[in-house]
Amino acid sequence: MARNKFDIDENLESPFDIRHFKRALVYIKQQKRPMIIALVLSVLSAGIGLTAPLIMQHVVDVTIPEKEVGALFGWSALMLLTIVVSVILAAIRGRIMTSVGQDIIFEIRSDLFKHLQALPFKYYDDRPQGKIMIRVVNYVNSVSDVLSNGIINFIMEILNLVFIAVFMFAVDYRLALVILAGLPVFAAFLLLIKNRQRRSWQSVSNKSSNLNAYMQESISGIGVTQIFTREDRNEGIFTRLATNFRTEWIKAIHYNAMIPFTVDNLATIVTTMIYVVGLLVLSPAEVTFGVILAMSSYAARFWQPILNLSNLYNGFINAVAYLERIFETLDEPVTIKDAPGAKELPPVQGRVTFDHVTFGYDAGNHVLENLSFDVKPGESIALVGPTGAGKTTVVNLISRFYDVTGGRILVDGHNISEATLQSLRSQMGIMLQDSFIFSGTIMDNIRYGRLDATEDEIIAAAKTVRADDFIREFENGYMTEVNERGSKLSQGQRQLISFARTLLADPRILILDEATSSIDAKTERLLQQGMNELLKGRTSFIIAHRLSTVRGCDRIMYVSNKGIAESGSHDELIAKRGLYYKLYTAQKMEAV
């Protein structure tokens, strides 16, 4: 659970290795055709561009000494043409690779989102939302350029080096060897800082994730922050996290900056050595000034790809830190899924059986132990008891949001672990304690669980739960736009809309978890009338702290001590004068 904090760095459970990069190549292969076209354009652009030093050498050694003015203009025009063509080809290639990069982003992000939707509740219990979101948005953006332009540029720069080396050795092999002499020094330097650079960017990834998690938490809880005047304290926490991120970022950039600094200095030294060797060691008969000038130009061109490759190397090291996180998320096991050979659950009548069920959120810490009960089709069951006793756990297990540790749960005699999730949950109406409202219209929110519902059916559901009256009070009625989480609505209004959404699905098994917790007494009485109609012919499980809500249920189960401590109708439990009686009388006294 330590990961579930904004100020705790995440430890990688599967460090990066070459297999991660091979997996990334899957996304690259999907863009093979445009990348090949871009590579061809890059080769043509580079090849044409490399003719410029040869033209310059010929002009200096032949055209100018022989005073061929017409030829000088001709060579100048040809040199200008090579530059223009090279730039045009590079621009076309750039547009192609921009599209490729966005396609790669789309594919990775789509795979992440699809996988996140399949992950069990426990995954989200253990992690701040901000640390999940940053992987889908920021990290994918960070790796896209390396996986698109990075691959092409790497191949291109290698080809550039080969082409330039061929041209250099064709002009003068001795000066070419002088240029190549700096390579071993550069390679040794890279080996020296490689591991420290990678660790540094991993730390940047952690601090960025922490900062994003705190930002998300702070925005979600801004109301509580202002109520308790925590602004100054929260600003201090934010400053600390932002400072940590800044410190690690500067450290990582320091390592990155060392590479071009080294390349620039080596290029300067090598260019100087060309003039030293060409002018002082070799005689004018062995090497002309045009050759020296051409080789100095090739030296600059040779070390430019080295610099570009070092920048690509920097980008790759950065991307590795993010790829590790992305693939760690994609590798997170989907523990709640269809079993091999899972069958479609036929239309159910609603019988629910718990057969010696044991469950715990953490190994060795059971919430329920050896729990058994049987619910008949159409029976309404109320689950009451102290906070944390396991009431919500019971309904979560029926919905298979978690899998049982031991025993089994049956619906109409079918083991739910052997049925497909879609066929199970599609026959359930579930309203959880958190009444989540999506951005969009009120009608869109009610229709969320049944997209083919007509407008009349939506209004009928709203009327049943007594939501129609307050909805029509809005200027735009059912077409009123609401913000994410329904900030324009009261808590009671949000619950009524969520309740209408659940009713619209017309479920055979209905689960209501604190469905009326934020509704005033008058609205609750109206809602109870609609609920009575809804519950007819449906198996229902109702969790409510207000015991007045569940008095009419067929059976009330008091959940305590990892099981069902008492079970019976309201009158039967009152007559027993046990745990339920004490809870009920305590509430009555509080209401007085």
Tens of pLDDT, residue by residue over 258-296, are: 878 887 888 788 878 887 877 777 766 677 777 777 777
How far apart are the C-alpha atoms of 26 and 31, rounded to whole Å? 9
- Provide the b/e sequence for 233-252 (b: ≥16 CB within 10 Å): eeeeeeeebeebbeebbebb
Q: Would you state the pLDDT for residue 11?
A: 59
**pLDDT digits 0-9 by tens, 294-317:** 777 777 777 778 877 777 777 777
Contact by Cβ (8 Å): 258, 193: yes
- pLDDT tens digits along 78-92: 888 888 888 888 888
Tokens of 553: 């249920």
Please give the model's pTM, rounded to 2 decimal places. Answer: 0.64
What mean pLDDT do residues 99-108 have?
84
Query: What is the tens place of the pLDDT at every residue in 32-55?
Result: 888 888 888 877 887 777 777 777
Residue 148 exposed, middle or buried by CB count within 10 Å (0-12, 13-18, 19+): buried
3-state DSSP call for residue 128?
A: coil
> How many degrees, rounded to 5, is the angle at CA 221 between CA 219 and CA 223?
105
Q: Are 453 and 377 in contact (CB under 8 A)?
A: no
Residue 81 contacts residue 300 (beta carbons within 8 Å): no
- The domains found in the chain, sorted by start residue, are 18-330 (1.20.1560.10), 339-427+548-592 (3.40.50.300)
Place of tokens 């070390």: 303
CA distance 321 to 142: 10
Would you place residue 371 in the very low, low, confident or very high pLDDT band (cuts 50, 70, 90)?
Answer: very high
What tokens does 258 get? 């060392």
Q: Is 306 exposed, middle or buried (0-12, 13-18, 19+ CB in 10 A)?
A: buried
Give me the mean pLDDT over the 460-487 stretch.
84
pLDDT over 60 (residue 12): no
Residue 362: predicted pLDDT: 81
Q: 59: pLDDT confidence band, cut at 50, 70 and 90?
A: confident
**How many Cα atoms occupy the beta-carbon half-sphere of 66 within 13 Å?**
9
Per-residue pLDDT of 487-497, as tens digits, reads 678 777 887 88
The reported pLDDT for the residue numbered 344 is 93
The pLDDT-based confidence of 417 (bands split at 50, 70, 90) is: very high
3-class DSSP state for residue 404?
coil
- Give me 46's structure tokens: 């580079």
C-beta of residue 340 within 8 angstroms of C-beta of residue 224: no
d(CA 302, CA 297): 9
Cβ neighbors of 185 (< 8 A, separation 6 or more) are 266
pLDDT for res 586: 84
Chain segment 490-540, per-residue pLDDT in tens: 777 887 888 888 888 888 898 888 766 556 666 666 666 666 666 777 899
Query: Residue 558: is its pLDDT beyond 90?
Result: yes
Residue 207 or residue 322, greater confidence: 207
pLDDT at 292: 77
Residue 381 has pLDDT above 90, yes or no: yes
pLDDT at 297: 76
Task: Check: CB of residue 99 under 8 Å from CB of residue 34.
Answer: yes
Percent of the chain with pLDDT over 90: 17
pLDDT in the model for residue 255: 82
Specify the length of the chain in residues. Answer: 592
Tell me what pLDDT residue 591 has: 55
Q: Give the chain's end-to-end CA distance (angstroms, integer).
A: 42
Q: What is the CA radius of gyration of the chain?
A: 35
